[in-house]
A and B are shown apart, each in its own frame.
Chain A
Amino acid sequence: MTPWWRDPTLRPAIVACLTLSAAVGVFGVSFGVGSVAAGSTVLQTCALSLLVFTGASQFSAVSVIGAGGSIGSALGGALLLAARNGVYGLAMSRRLDGSLGRKFLAAQLTIDETTAMAVAQPTRRAQQVAFWVTGVALYACWNLGTLIGALAGSAIDPKTFGLDVAFPAGFVAMVWPLFSDPRARLAALIGGAVCLLTVPFTPIGVPILLSVLGVLVGLQSPANAPNSEVTQ
């Protein structure tokens, strides 16, 4: 069999995986800048990207702590966002081969982008190549971007350049594609409203936890038909 990097049928997928990884590297820069702007050190910022390696959770934790929230509320919101990687793991476990050690390595790389690139491929071999190429390239780009951003962010005054909105602006770009689903729009509306309504009355960070109420939209099955599974 042709090695994967020389297989012409795999080339378009590999190019797409590398392009996506480079784009995520730019996002890593904005994480680095925003994280030091929110009061983390360069070392802490890099540790988050190296060890946690799931963007939305990292942004959430830094944002809540930067606003003065407790460790508990920062952790809660970030872990809620990390839970979906468990669902991606379910999807990937049917597609990945290899030893248990290899799977423990694959687990750290199981995030939005690697899962999306893998499940989009037509063959099992292409799925595995897409997962590993995206995983390794994205890990490198995300961490390099984080380091560059953290160093740049600590060299300037972030507020002068409006960089304190790097996070919310990045969140806007992250969440916008989800709104093609009407139920995601409703969940977002509820989540956003719950957050703003509870900010004055609850400790900092707790409104982010309460916003998860928006997911109750998912209790209703898509067809709006009565469904036995909902009541179980």
Chain B
Amino acid sequence: MTWTLIILLAVGAYAFKVTGLIILGGRSLPPVFERCLGLIPAAIITALVMKDTFTVGQDLTLDARALGIAVAVIAAWRRAPLIVVIVLGAAVTALVRQL
């Protein structure tokens, strides 16, 4: 992590907030624009899960993390609270590494 990134991200994230709340104010965006913006978290967060589970650098890998995340997915599907999802995922990954 670098301070340059932290400052740029802080400024950029605040700029989006100010743009919506103060600069654009009560105006509304074209529906297609709102629909696409609304889908960003689903697309990017899923990609982050894939990256953090199945890759090391530029290599695709299959290791203990895959089992941990599989259990986390089951926990999320069973509507377990956030902390349970994280602890189960971490515990299973740690256990598989001990084997």
Q: Any chain B CB within 8 A of the CB of A130? A: no
Q: Separation in Å of the B20 CB from the closest CB of chain A?
A: 2
Q: Separation in Å of the B85 CB from the closest CB of chain A?
A: 4
A51 close to B43 (CB less than 8 A)? no
- Kindly list chain A residues whose C-beta atoms are within 8 Å of the C-beta of B94: 160-162
Binding site secondary structure of chain A:
helix
Interface centre among B34, B41, B43 (most CB of A within 10 A): B43
- Kindly list chain B residues whose C-beta atoms are within 8 Å of the C-beta of A192: 46-47, 49-50
Q: Separation in Å of the A38 CB from the closest CB of chain B?
A: 7
Say which residue of B19, B36, B83 sits within 8 Å of A86 (CB atoms).
B19
- Kindly list chain A residues whose C-beta atoms are within 8 Å of the C-beta of B42: 175, 178-179, 181, 184-185, 187-188, 191, 214
Known: A60-B44, A90-B21, A178-B45. 8 other contacts (CB 8 A): A67-B57, A82-B9, A82-B12, A85-B16, A86-B17, A87-B38, A168-B53, A181-B42
Interface of B toward A, CB cutoff 8 Å? 1-10, 12-14, 16-22, 24-32, 34-55, 57-60, 64-65, 68-69, 72-73, 75-77, 81-83, 85-86, 88-95, 97
A to B CB contacts below 8 Å, 8 in the list: A52-B9, A71-B5, A103-B22, A104-B22, A162-B94, A171-B48, A187-B39, A215-B43
